[in-house]
């Protein structure tokens, strides 16, 4: 008999037009194709958001719960609910509580699967039941994001961020303790969760991408083009704090000097989310703001070097795996490739300071970039191919 899974996601996974969505859809497809599971899918959508497309994965049933994004500032949210993390508020409320509880009680589930910490937020009011078969796919150690952000601030803001880190950490502790198994996406995060609960069952399930058999032709650097014609590319959710902070740092501190030394260099920026903060850069003729792109393949075909200016975060960087899938090399901070297994100078380029970023790009040629992109593809395919990742999850859920 097939096991009944209730898969809970903080967002609808289709259209699968970013690395995280692709990874989720491929996992679900792998579970469905195993013929071991009967999948019911529950997702949160914002009020007013259009009805989602028909899913490609053969779900037994789907449920949508509408959440109401708050227009309050972070400070007001903190005043209203000082003991609730400010990013949790949209997932709480009587209506959400009632609808979420109804789905949980609609049948006897063999597996209740929280796809990310935000998928489990309604459990703050419903409370975990130790008898229920909870499983947790941890995209990040969320509290670490807050701790690292707090360390970069001062005064009252620093104290407020430390409070957020404490509240999120307390929630993640409860979540890990309640779950029969936790699936972090990197061994580094696995160690963090083991510290939260030494008795937790931890199994690393990486973020998968559908790698082709060979490095794709027509993606990545063209060895015939001169280095001064480099096209840089950034892709990711534009309003996610680690992405916004890193990209803003790059645009303010690195990009002007980079353009001065390489007058024909270009940058394209793609991603969903609120991009209003990018308005000052709309007049730059060497920057192309693409917004949300439907086909990442086209983006990477015109990208010579993917940039990952990340200074806070945990987990595994989907954008790095995604670029490697297309044999596009990455220029990144060490944190940006943390958990991926790439080697500096061989399968990615490393830069931390402003001058290192500038020097790194100045010394590039397309032949070297092409080789680094191929090395990244060959290094990550054996670890992150979706078929392998899906098999690992199926085996873990059948244990």
**Phi then psi for 241, rounded to 5 degrees?**
-50, -50
The strand pair at 3-9 and 111-115 is best described as: parallel
Same fold, 3-210+385-398 and 227-384: yes
Number of residues that this document lists for the chain: 399
Q: Taking a C-beta distance cutoff of 8 angstroms, is the pair 322, 338 a contact?
A: no
Alpha helical stretches, state H, 197-343: 241-249, 255-261, 296-301, 318-325
Would you place residue 227 in the very low, low, confident or very high pLDDT band (cuts 50, 70, 90)? Answer: very low
Find which of 46-60, 142-156, 373-387 is predicted with most confidence, using mean pLDDT.
373-387
Percent of the chain exceeding pLDDT 70 equals 95
pLDDT in tens, 237-249: 898 888 999 999 9
HEC states along 351-375? CCCHHHHHHHHHCCCHHHHHHHHHH
Would you place residue 136 in the very low, low, confident or very high pLDDT band (cuts 50, 70, 90)? Answer: very high
Compute the distance between CA of residue 45 and CA of residue 52 in angstroms, rounded to an integer: 9
Q: Indicate whether 315 pLDDT > 70.
A: no
Which helix (H) or strand (E) covers residue 287, if one does?
Answer: strand 287-291
Compute the distance between CA of residue 361 and CA of residue 330 in angstroms, rounded to an integer: 11
Q: Which residues contact 63 (CB under 8 A, 6 or more apart)?
A: 40, 41, 42, 43, 99, 103
Tokens of 334: 């060490």
Q: Indicate whether 61 pLDDT > 60.
A: yes
Tokens of 188: 């580094």
Q: What is the CATH number of domain 3-210+385-398?
A: 3.40.50.2000
Q: Does the CA dihedral 94-97-103-107 come out positive or negative?
A: negative
Q: What is the pTM of this model?
A: 0.86
**pLDDT, the chain, mean:** 90
Domain 227-384 CATH superfamily: Glycogen Phosphorylase B; (3.40.50.2000)
Q: Indicate whether 78 pLDDT > 90.
A: no
Would you place residue 366 in the very low, low, confident or very high pLDDT band (cuts 50, 70, 90)? Answer: confident
**C-alpha angle 282/284/285, rounded to 5°?**
115
**Phi then psi for 132, rounded to 5 degrees?**
-85, 150
* 305-335: burial string, b at 16+ Cβ within 10 Å, e else: bbbbbbebbbbbbbbbbbbbbbbbbbbbbeb
pLDDT of residue 218: 56
Tell me the domain boundaries of the chain. Answer: 3-210+385-398, 227-384
Please list the residues that pair with 231 across neighbouring strands: 266
Residue 202 is classified by DSSP as B
pLDDT of residue 242: 87
Find, among 140, 159, 148, 147, the residue nearest to 75 by Cα.
159
Q: Indicate whether 70 pLDDT > 90.
A: no
Q: Taking a C-beta distance cutoff of 8 angstroms, is the pair 192, 314 a contact?
A: yes
pLDDT of residue 69: 76
């Amino acid at each position: 008999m097939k096991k009944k899974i209730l898969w809970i996601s903080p967002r609808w996974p289709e259209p699968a037009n970013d690395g995280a969505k692709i990874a989720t859809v491929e996992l679900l497809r792998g579970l469905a194709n195993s013929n071991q599971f009967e999948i019911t899918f529950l997702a949160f959508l914002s009020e007013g958001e259009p009805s989602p497309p028909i899913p490609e994965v053969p779900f037994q049933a789907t449920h949508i719960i509408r959440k109401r994004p708050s227009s309050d500032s972070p400070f007001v949210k903190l005043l209203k609910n000082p003991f609730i993390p400010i990013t949790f508020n949209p997932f709480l409320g009587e209506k959400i509580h009632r609808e979420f509880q109804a789905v949980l009680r609609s049948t006897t589930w063999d597996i209740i699967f929280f796809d990310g910490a935000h998928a489990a937020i309604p459990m703050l009011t419903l409370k975990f039941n130790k008898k229920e078969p909870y499983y947790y796919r941890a995209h990040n150690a969320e509290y670490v994001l807050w701790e690292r952000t707090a360390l970069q601030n001062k005064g009252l803001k620093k104290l407020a961020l430390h409070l957020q880190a404490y509240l999120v950490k307390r929630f993640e502790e409860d979540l890990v303790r309640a779950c029969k198994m936790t699936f972090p996406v990197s061994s580094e995060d696995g160690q963090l969760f083991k510290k939260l609960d030494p008795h937790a069952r931890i199994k690393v399930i990486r973020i998968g991408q559908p790698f082709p058999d060979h490095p794709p032709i027509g993606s990545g650097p063209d060895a015939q083009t001169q280095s001064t014609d480099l096209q840089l590319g950034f892709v990711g959710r534009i309003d996610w704090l680690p992405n916004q902070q890193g990209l803003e740092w790059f645009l303010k501190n690195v990009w002007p000097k980079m353009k001065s030394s390489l007058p024909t260099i270009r940058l394209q920026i793609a991603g969903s989310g609120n991009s209003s903060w990018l308005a000052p850069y709309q007049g730059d003729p060497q920057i192309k703001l693409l917004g949300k792109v439907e086909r990442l393949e086209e983006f990477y075909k015109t990208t010579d070097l993917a940039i990952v200016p990340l200074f806070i975060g945990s987990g595994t960087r989907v954008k790095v795996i995604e670029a490697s899938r297309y044999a596009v090399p990455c220029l990144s901070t060490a944190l940006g490739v943390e958990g991926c297994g790439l080697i500096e100078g061989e399968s990615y380029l490393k830069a931390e300071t402003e001058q290192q970023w500038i020097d790194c790009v100045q010394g590039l040629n397309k032949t070297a970039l092409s080789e680094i992109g191929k090395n990244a593809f060959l290094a990550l395919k054996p670890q992150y191919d979706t078929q392998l990742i899906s098999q690992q999850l199926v085996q873990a859920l059948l244990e």
